[in-house]
Every structure is written in structure tokens, then in C-alpha cells.
Structure 1
Amino acid sequence: MAQKQSHIDQTTSLHLNNEVQFLCFTLEEEIDGKNQLYAMNVFKIRELIYYNNELTETAGDNSGILLGYLTVRDETIPLVDMRRWLYFSRQNPDRDLREFSLNTPKSLIAICDFSNCTVGLKILGVKHIIHKSWKDINVENDFSSEGDIKITGTTKYSDGSIVQIMDVERMLVDAFPSGNASNDLEINDLQKIESDKIILLAEDSKTAAKSLQKIIEKLDLKYFSFPNGKALLDYLHNPGIAANIGAIITDLEMPLISGFEVLKQIKETPATCHIPVIINSSMSSDSNYQMAERLKADGFITKSNPVEIEQSLRQILENVKFNN
């Protein structure tokens, strides 16, 4: 228990210091002694295991991203082949991806917990954990067009080679479209909120940002969306902007400036301290909740949960309307 708490506290400390740790891994064999490295936040990974037991296969020919289900200590967990996902396209979701499978004697699997999901990710090999400042992350620039881009940004490994940071929120949507359909049903049930205030959104995952935007549009609210905390703060600090902002919804894990730093700066600045800030995160640990509360966040919601977002914004914006 103490080890788990230490793990959680370290996550929060990194967010506060605008830092992040990535697990670097491979999905393909070396070519000319080189190997493309991929990465994801290490704190989304519960454990790494080798798995040789049989999978419970899904219905159909298993030619897509989802390989089936594995059992770990009596827990049934869906398994995604990450190399297959690299070649997956939303324009051709029924494409047979078996030729891109990771075929190894032992299956190396990262068991991950995020966005209220537990999922196994099949990978080829693991390199090292790298510790980076978010300032050292190069952000994907074309935020307006989603396409089939599966990378949120890049950074450098110790030897100078490029590490591509994977958009695992997008992977969940691609692998489990039925879950996305369920989310759409919740969005359809949302009711309009009467307000002329603008909502500012900070989210580096294009998939998560798109989901968030759909929710705000269904609530019939005006909004501006930014791919990181720095872009949001730069906009907010323009003269006359703060008075028109009804609320800010920010992710925690972002390039350049983290969500906690966004929250901290807004609440410590006299011109913006009145603006409600909602943390929207896939990593909802007790420690993150406590830190958000300590930094005077006005809400903490599960990543892009339609009902939670509506409830939080309705309460905030109706209070603003009432007080005015």
C-alpha cells in the first residue's frame, strides 16, 4: 500500500514540476541497427508481463486491433496488438491487419490503467524509462485535422534518436468503438446550458479534444480549444479576455505546461483567479484529486465524461448567471 501511495505521489510531483516519465518501447525489429522508439506515460502502466497462456478470442476472424482477452490473477483484460494499431485506419476499419501482427515466442504485454479502463498492450520490447520536462516535448502542430495521426508529440532518447509519443486515448476509441457509441448516447442526452460565456479547453490528444468539443457543442456553449496549457494561458492573458470566460477545462498531462501549472497560474493571478477551472484527466488518483483541491480547482472529472462535464458546467455557469 505504501509503495502504491509513493507511486501516486510521484505522479503528482511530476505534474506539479511540469515533468513527465515515458516508457520507451519498440514495435518493429531493428533495421540497420536502428529501431523506431515509441512511448507512453509510465504512470498509465500498471505492470509489464510475459504472457504465454491462451487468449479468450472475440467473435469474428480476429483480424483487427483487438486480439482477445487474457486472464491475469483472475482479472479478464482485453489485449490490443499495438503494431496492428499502427496500420489501422478509421477510413478502412475492417481491413485485415494480421500481416502486421507482433509474432514473438513470448508475448510482452503492458497492463495499463487509464480513462477508467484496464487494457493490455502487446509490444515487441522495452528500452528504458526517460524523464523529461514538458518543455522538451515537440508537439504535433496540425491540431485542427485528426486524420490517422496516432502520435501526440516527439522527444529525444539519450542517443539523440527520435521517440514518438503515442496517443493512447485514440487507441482506446479505435479498439473499442462500441464504448465510443455508448459515449455518443450519453452526449445525445445532454441538455442545453443557457450562457453567453466562453469555455476554454486544453487537451493535447486530438481524439480526447474532439470528444470534449462534441460535448460542449451539444451543451450549446461557445468554446476555444488549445493543444496545451501554454497556448491556453497565452490566449487568456490577452487584454479583456478573462471577463468573457465562464470556465476552463484542462487535461493534466500536456506538453509545455501541465494542467496543474495552468490551474496554479490562473488561481494565483488576480485578473483570472475568479475563473472556475475543471481538471479533466484519465489519471484520477486520490493524490491528483487532493492536489487539485489544494490548488483550488473547481472540479475534477473523469476524462471527457459527458454527464460529469454537463453537471459541472451547469452548476458553475448557472451560479455565474444567478450572481450577475
Structure 2
Amino acid sequence: MTAVLDPLAPGHRGWWESGELVVCHEDGVAVPNRLFTRLVPDQVTEHFRVYALGQRVLVAHRFRPDELDDDLAGHLATELGGTQRLAAQFERIFTGVVRSTVHDPLLAWSVFYANTLAALRSPPKAGAIADFAPVHERASALIRGRTVLDVGSCFGFLPLRLAADGFSPIASDRTAGTMALLNRVAAWLGTPLRTLVCDATAIPLAARSVDTVLAIHLLEHLPPGLGTRALHEMLRVARRRVVIAVPLEDSPDPAYGHVRCFDPDTLREWGNESGQRFTVFEHHGGWLVLDR
């Protein structure tokens, strides 16, 4: 059984390990550069070199602190996602890159968050952040009322933005470690945030307890049965509106953990089955907005 990932667990200067995986910075103090002249990498990409060390895997990189932001997800998916063994370690490699670039755990993640939030406000022309910035913009514009539940928040960039903009958001995710990290970083950034550890199919909030419920790029990670249950829970909790955004893909992208595809017709079916007034439209993906 794989150990639960703790993004703030103690580490080593310049390298981070979890089970059979070791992620290191090639300029790390604890990993001499001469090591890399003695090993032949099994895989070389723009940002990574991968080495097999018996049963262990070493992923080496040279990211700088100013390069730590959510575009890392795109680099991992594009460069290492085609290897099944590495794709399964996506979260751990991601964590390892952040932690091996800046030694102090909280400072490392705070740098990552600060860089990403700044980039989302002024997005680059390409990359994962450029793709997500207009999605966050539209989600924010669709909110009705002041209280917001964001379901499947992951790192919580959108709830942090909403809190800074005067909303009263709750970030939720099933991963306790990620919510604990978000709590720590939010306090460090001066944007305290309420978090909730829960499954999208069982939200521990009262009926109609928040104005708007958001599910931004969540449902593509859930099989159809669970997705329907999650939608019912969101409708139960929402007082005014539910906003759903999904990518429009021809096939699920396994590099990002997608297990199903959506198209506008599928979203209209969900809207009809909900019994609520709804709107379906496209804007950097597909959207379903349901009004109570």
C-alpha cells in the first residue's frame, strides 16, 4: 500500500524521496554533479532526466525557484506522462520538484503558490496556466451571491483568488494533505481560507447552505455513476447556482487522471435530468450552469 503523500513532510536539501521514487535537483548539495556523469539516463526530456537505480527511479531536474508554478503540471504530463510507471507517480514527482528546488517545505510551496497566483492574474501566452486563467475568470464571473463552495479544489488557486476578491469561499478536496497544505500557505499569504476534506459525492454541509457551488475541471476525473452523485450533492448544497466546467476531449487524458469525456450534448442531458433551469456553452471547454 502506497503511503499517504504529505507535501510538508521533512526532506533533504536538493532532493526528496517517496518510496521507490527519488526526485533531485541536479545542482543539489546532497547529490554531487559527478553522479550524473557516471549514470546513463533512461529518458531525457527538455526539463527532466530519468535514471533507473535498481528498483528505484531517480528523476533529475534543474527548475529554478522563479520557475515553480502550476505550469509544472503541463511539463510533467507532456514529457513524462507517456511512461506508465512515471505517470502513476505524477503527484509525487510534482511534489518532489517543488521540494527539491527550495529546501524549507513551507517556503517551497509558498513560492510555488505566489508564482502561480501572479501568473493567473497576468497569464503567459502558452502553458497550463494560460489555459486555466480564462476558466478562472469565467467561473468568478458566474458566481451568484457571496458564499461559494469549490468542489475538488486541489491546490486551491481559485478559492484563494475568490477570497482576495471579497467572496467567502470554502475549498474542498478529498485529499487531506492538500487541504492541510492550502491552509498553511493561505495563512502565510495573508488570505485565510476555510477548507473542507470530503468526497464530492458526500459533502458534509447542510442543504442550500452556500450561494454558489463550483466544480471546475472535476467531473472528468469521476466515472459516470459517481459524477451523477456528485452533481446531486452540489445541487443539494447550492442555494442559488451550480457552475460546472469540463474539458472537451475526444478521449480522456490519462496524464491528468481523466477517466471520461464530455461534449455539449452530454452537458445538456445533465441539465435536462436535473430539473433545473440551465445553460450550456463553450469557453475554453464546456460549461453547464444550473440555477435554483
Bin of the TM-score, shorter chain as denominator length: 0.3 to 0.5
Larger relative helix fraction: 2
Larger relative strand fraction: 1
**TM-score using structure 1 length:** 0.36
Greater RCO, CA 8 A, separation 6+ = 1
**TM-score using structure 2 length:** 0.39
